Chain A
Amino acid sequence: MYAALGLHGCLPHSHGSQGCCSYHRSALTRHFKEPVMAATSSFSEGSSVFGGSANLVTAIETIFTVYNPDVVAVHTTCLSETIGDDLTQIVSKAHEDGLVPEGKKVIYCNTPSYVGTHVTGYSNQVAAFVKFFSTATPKKKNVVNLVAGWMEPSDMREIKRLAQEMEARIILFPDMSGVLDAPLTGKFEMYPKGGTTQAQLIATGDSKFTIGLGAYTTEDACVKLENKCKVKFEVVEIPIGLKATDRFITSLSRHANVPVPDSITEERGRLVDLIADNSKYFYGKRVALFGDPDTLIPLTEFLLTLDMKPVYIVTGTPGKHFDESMQTLLSEKVPEAKYKSGPNADMFQLHQWIKQESVDLLIGNTYGKYIARDENIPFVRMGFPIVDRAGHNYFPNTGYVGATNLVIKILEKELDHLDRNCPDEKVEWQL
């Protein structure tokens, strides 16, 4: 659902019973404090037994008649997956019945909730964009595709800004900026200004290179795009922190064939300056973190750049890449680190580890605050969902500016904690 919102003029559609759709819309709304529109097939017991074809066909008619999106992006739930609804067949039936108006599109992907996590669903939707749109013509253009992994609209905005500073020609997809950080204007826009356009998505087939940001969320799309349109690709991490941003900028510079301007080198220098000035607050500090693998991998690396010690790291998303990356990053620098991924890697496990030996900092989504409170640990909110604070969709965590934000957040939390917990005579008035 989140990925589908990054396509301009698109209405996500949940093919299952309506509870899922309500929950997903609510979760995204609580995180972004923004409208999150999506429709559902509203399965009843009958359709669960005899198939949800009629529901989806009715939904397609109702949606185009009432809400008039350019694209309906259908995803599935454990219900329609378990009963084995054939989306290809159902959508072609809707076409045959003349329910998809001229110039409108219905795209779809399968997202069984008993496989992987929300990260997997995001990846499937992004790959579906390639499947339904990307088209190769004989004319390649000097454009680099940037496939955005699961990050905030602010991060996408920051990535576009960096590309603009570099004068690199890019197509970013999906792009939630302008959708999930839209202004209040007095008018509700069901399809806000933002989002990658269909024309841009089609054009991705003619780009000369693709950079995927985050292996878990974008690699499938990159591979698909290469197979379909012969666009070579590289997958780098989401540019969180110094080194991941370095790699992103280097890759973009190389593949878009543009130099890195001084303005960006200076941003980098300011970040290095800030870290150097405050090393003593980072060195050797034990950190526990949890979240999505594409965020945790560069974040762990960044914490190591700060000389912090990421000691406990869990992600509920299964996959070898996470374990291998952690092994590479941590085996020398923090040999005592514990990390775990997949269905049994949860916050209960993390809490138990923290109880055995505590940490100086916790980084994760809102649910972390119960652990932070129980154990009196400074807590930085990062990831999805963050429902108890505002503005995270306005300020980036990516790029050098994002890394600067992140360093400031960590410092703020640590110092607030220190000020509140140290004895009176130890309260300092300077940094």
Chain B
Amino acid sequence: MIDKNDKPKNADALIAELHEFRDEVITKYPKKVAKKRAKSIVLSDGDKPPQIQANVRTIPGIITQRGCTYAGCKGVVLGPTRDIINITHGPIGCGFYSWLTRRNQTKPVNENDPNFIPYCFSTDMQDSNIVFGGEEKLKQAIREAYELFHPKTIAIFSTCPVGLIGDDVHRVARHMKEEIGDGINIFGFSCEGYRGVSQSAGHHIANNGLFKNLIGRDDEVRGQLKYRVNLLGEYNIGGDAFELERVFEKCGINLLASFSGNSTIQKFENAHTADLNMVMCHRSINYVAEMMEKAFGIPWIKVQPIGANSTAKMLRKIAQYFGDKELIDTVEAVIAEEMIEVNKVLEQARKRTAGKVTMLFVGGSRAHHYQDLFEELGMTTVAAGYEFGHRDDYEGRSVIPTISIDADSRNIEEITVTQDETRYRPRKTEEELKALEAEGMEFNEYHGIMQQMEKGALVIDDLSHYEMDQLIEKYKPDIFCAGIKEKFCVQKMGIPLKQLHNYDVGGPYAGFQGAVNFYKDIEMMVGATIWKEIKAPWESEDYVEASFAY
């Protein structure tokens, strides 16, 4: 289906020009800033990825896309779980702004199942709490939350002032756990916004919390015994997880837990009874994957179910891993069936999309994943980057040993995980793993964004507003992908912007149905009539300037 002949006629010429971008764009910056930014802008080379500077502090005043650690921890990782009460310990802003603003949908099984997603819980710190400390108010908030809702689990999220005034959320959590009793689980996160340099630190802190406080608390093996998998780093934006759940069910694959789209606490607690972990968003959840392998012996593979072919590839990988003829046959049958509609819609969409050019600057994984979908649409990605990816997300995990942790990220907690004495069980023997690897399966591996991109395409980490402006001004892509803050800036320039955080309230975009939705949405956007109507007729008419001679 991907046909390299679709490559836009101007793509090669365009890519050949891109090397000028860095040299030109950095001249505008003050000297020190230019020096730093130059290291974060590289030309892609899939065979031999150049080193990129990533996961370093943001330059003050540069107008970054980035958010903070609290957003990465509460907003991203723990936010989507419906039966946990997430209390933001801080002034009201952090809680308010992360209230329903990410589209992590959830669907309780029964009407009376708890669902706290529509709520925002906060300690709403006032000046007196800053002066005298907020621990008492936090305790009171936990008591009230328990009395009103009787949740099984409560988590506390620290915001900027909490660390500064010395409130100890972990101590409060222990205290309240004892006070309430009733088997309640309460734990805290030190995810103050100033920690680390971006959302990424929050992911790491959240992963540690998941592992320490939830994973492995429930050993009961439920449901079917075959094909037990977890999907890590899938947050059910716009119903992505619903679509993947549908596909897995159709194939007879037993999805125990999504981390953390459409999830419940119990699913986390039970996740260690799976036989395979699949990592979708590498950046946000690779820590959990690593820890689960070490403690419980569950291997992990990278998957990318964004794009119809990529979804098929994921299913085939699972089938290959379990090596079961029945599963292999079902998977092939499902793929064949699903591809009928996919191909029909794709054929239609490609009439308008093939040969077009795109640029993607999104969080920590989608800037990569969505290139699959654009390839299917016959579009070329000429520039891409992450807000908060690390070097391994750009260059592949093989560079991890060479990454040095700088002063800004040094204080992010690293937890040491050891083999679980009773529950460690290698899911495959060394020989089995070797055999699978010989067939081309890769474990604990992610090759990064550059491997996929055209040689010479631009890769930019922590894109600034100015750099974005210049990219569009100079290269006029047919579609630009980023987030809400960028959307209307770019559209004012006459270029449609596809939001790949919230999908412009569309989706799902994962899986087969997701691909169908995406094809249609991009077809609509690149061809929309309104983009040709920007100039009023009297603005674009030629007129002759002349003066009367007297």
A residues lining the B interface (CB < 8 Å): 13, 16-20, 22-27, 29-30, 33-48, 55-56, 58-63, 65-67, 77-79, 82-83, 112-115, 117, 182, 184-189, 316, 343, 348, 367, 370
Contact = CB atoms under 8 A, between A and B. Distances in A.
Contacts of A83: 164
Contacts of A30: 101, 484
A113 B93 contact: yes
Contacts of A113: 91-93
Contacts of B487: 29
B60 A16 contact: no
Contacts of A58: 59-61
Nearest to A373: B118
7 contacts: A17-B160, A20-B193, A22-B485, A39-B62, A39-B63, A60-B61, A78-B161
Given A26-B484, A41-B60, A115-B126, 14 more contacts: A17-B193, A23-B97, A30-B484, A44-B408, A46-B407, A59-B61, A66-B29, A78-B93, A78-B130, A79-B193, A82-B130, A112-B127, A114-B129, A115-B127
A39 B61 contact: yes
B302 interface: no
Nearest to A28: B485
Contact of B64 (A13, A42, A46, A47): A42
Contacts of A17: 68, 160, 193-194
Given A18-B58, A26-B97, A186 B33 contact: no
Contacts of A66: 28-29, 61-62, 464, 466
B28 A23 contact: no
B491 interface: yes
A26 B483 CA distance: 9
Contact of A19 (B33, B94, B161): B94
B161 A82 contact: yes
Given A20-B193, A22-B66, A46-B407, A56 B488 contact: no
B96 to A, nearest CB: 8
A29 B485 contact: yes
Top-10 shortest CB links A-B: A19-B68, A59-B61, A23-B97, A59-B60, A62-B61, A79-B160, A113-B91, A42-B58, A17-B193, A186-B494
Nearest to A25: B485
Interface string B49-72: 000000001111111111111110
B489 interface: yes
B535 interface: yes
A185 B164 contact: no
Given A17-B68, A44-B57, A115-B126, A34 B488 contact: yes
Contacts of B408: 44-46
B399 interface: no
A429 to B, nearest CB: 34
B261 interface: no
A23 B487 CA distance: 15
Contacts of A62: 29-30, 33, 59-62
Contacts, number: 190
Q: How large is the interface on B (under 10, 10 to 19, 20 to 34, 35 or more residues)?
A: 35 or more
A78 B63 CA distance: 20
Contacts of A114: 91, 125-127, 129-130, 161
B122 to A, nearest CB: 9
Interface string B81-107: 000000000111110011111000000
B336 interface: no
B466 A35 contact: no
A78 B195 contact: no
A157 to B, nearest CB: 19
B91 A78 contact: yes
Interface in B498-550: 534-535
A97 to B, nearest CB: 12
Contacts of B68: 17-20, 22
B493 A82 contact: no
Contacts of A187: 492-493
Contacts of A23: 67, 71, 93-94, 97-98
A184 B28 contact: no
A370 B29 CA distance: 46
Contacts of B535: 186
Contacts of B484: 26, 29-30
Contact of A56 (B60, B129, B534): B60
Nearest to A112: B127
B466 A67 contact: yes
A184 B494 contact: yes
B234 interface: no
Q: Give the interface centre of A39, A82, A117 by most chain B CB atoms within 10 Å.
A: A82
A30 B502 CA distance: 11
B389 to A, nearest CB: 16
Nearest to B160: A79
Contacts of B466: 66-67
B29 A44 contact: no
B197 interface: yes
B128 to A, nearest CB: 9
Interface string B163-177: 111000000000000
Given A26-B97, A35-B488, A60-B61, A370 B118 contact: yes
Contacts of A48: 160, 163-164, 192, 194
A184 B125 contact: no
A22 B93 CA distance: 12
Contacts of A60: 61
B465 interface: yes
B69 A19 contact: yes
B255 to A, nearest CB: 29
Contacts of A56: 60
B67 A22 contact: yes
B71 A22 contact: yes
Nearest to B70: A19
A24 B161 CA distance: 18
A186 B464 CA distance: 20
A83 B64 CA distance: 23
Contacts of A43: 193-194
A16 B93 CA distance: 13
A61 B61 contact: yes
B485 A19 contact: no
Nearest to A16: B160
Interface in B127-173: 127, 129-130, 159-161, 163-165
Nearest to B64: A18
A61 B30 contact: yes
Interface in B476-497: 483-485, 487-494
B532 to A, nearest CB: 11
Interface string B14-39: 00000000000000111001000000
A340 to B, nearest CB: 14
Contacts of B192: 48
Contacts of B62: 39, 62, 66
A78 B165 CA distance: 11
A19 B197 CA distance: 10
B60 A40 contact: yes
A115 B129 CA distance: 11
A67 B97 contact: no
Nearest to A41: B60
B372 interface: no
Contacts of B492: 35, 182, 184-189
Contacts of A13: 61
Given A78-B159, A79-B160, A37 B194 contact: no
A29 to B, nearest CB: 5
A27 B97 contact: yes
Q: Give the interface centre of B29, B118, B489 by most chain A CB atoms within 10 Å.
A: B489
B469 interface: yes
Q: Give the interface centre of A22, A34, A45, A46 by most chain B CB atoms within 10 Å.
A: A45
B411 interface: yes
B63 A67 contact: yes
A19 B71 contact: yes
Given A112-B127, A184-B494, A33 B94 contact: no
A57 to B, nearest CB: 8
